[in-house]
Amino acid sequence: MASTSRGTVLITGASSGIGAATARHLLQRGWTVIAAARRLEAMQELQRLGATVLPLDISDAESRRALVEAVEQQHPQLDGLVNNAGFGAVGPLETMSLEQARALFEVNVFGLMGLTQLLLPSMRRRGRGRIVNLSSIAGRYVTPGSGWYGASKFALEGLSDALRLELRPLGIQVVLVEPGLIQTEFADRVAPSRAAAGQSQEYGRMMERVNATWTAIFRGASDPSVVARTIETALTATNPQDRYLSGHLSGTVLARNLMPTPLWDWMLGRSMTG
């Protein structure tokens, strides 16, 4: 896919945040955009701008199949897939229920891969395509309280590496985008799990410090349009990188790679665990 080309792209989780910003940006850049999410009413603006709007519950197998059938009927020449739909919850590993942890993986890992599996046959037949998976800096390192969420993103990183190797000979490229702190609904969506974790007798004080740190650093969060532009690069670069960092504090991934673990642990412990 040449850097100047335009094509048809499916974006999941397009009702808000990074997904909505990416859909708007690509529409303005001349792409044919299919926007998919659970909340159809929240995508009316995208529809007015020219996007095809379709329902998707990424964790539901039947919903995934219905989406793929609609895409193949309406837009059989799919050039790109932006796997943006995601789910967040925070809390100590000991106290977060396995049911909640499974819910994270159902959306962030199994649902994402289930949709990708259904779309790959048509890409293979055409011998071309670009898959952009939205990970996170939490897919490269975790902080206290983000263990299960980070684990789901670590899993996505590994799956994306394998997909990149498996699909490259077939003409399909796989790219990871790793946002830092972005102005989305994420903070609001994890608020209930943060509040519940704060009630823990064993970890309540730690979660107070975690929440205070998150509140402080999120003040500098980047606009979702920053990530939207990075996603466009991931979709259009002739020879894309395997990973693109994007947004506020995404550079901490590089610092983590260079810093000895004892020093890193001391830094996080000083601000988050006491």
Catalytic residues: 149
Query: Are 244 and 236 a contacting pair, CB within 8 Å?
Result: no
DSSP at 143: -
The size of the chain, in residues, is: 274
Structure tokens at 137: 């800096």
Structure tokens at 254: 């590089």
Q: In sequence order, which residues have a C-beta less than 8 Å from that of residue 183 and are 6 or more positions away?
A: 221, 222, 223, 224
Cα dihedral sign for 14, 216, 195, 203? Answer: positive
Structure tokens at 150: 């980070």
Structure tokens at 101: 């942890």
For 31, the 3-state DSSP assignment is coil
Q: In sequence order, which residues have a C-beta less than 8 Å from that of residue 96 and are 6 or more positions away?
A: 89, 147, 148, 193, 197
Q: Rounded to whole angstroms, how far apart are CA atoms 175 and 130?
A: 8
Sheet holding 8-12, edge to edge: 52-55, 32-37, 8-12, 80-83, 129-134, 172-179, 243-246
Structure tokens at 95: 């106290």
Cα dihedral sign for 188, 248, 33, 56? Answer: negative
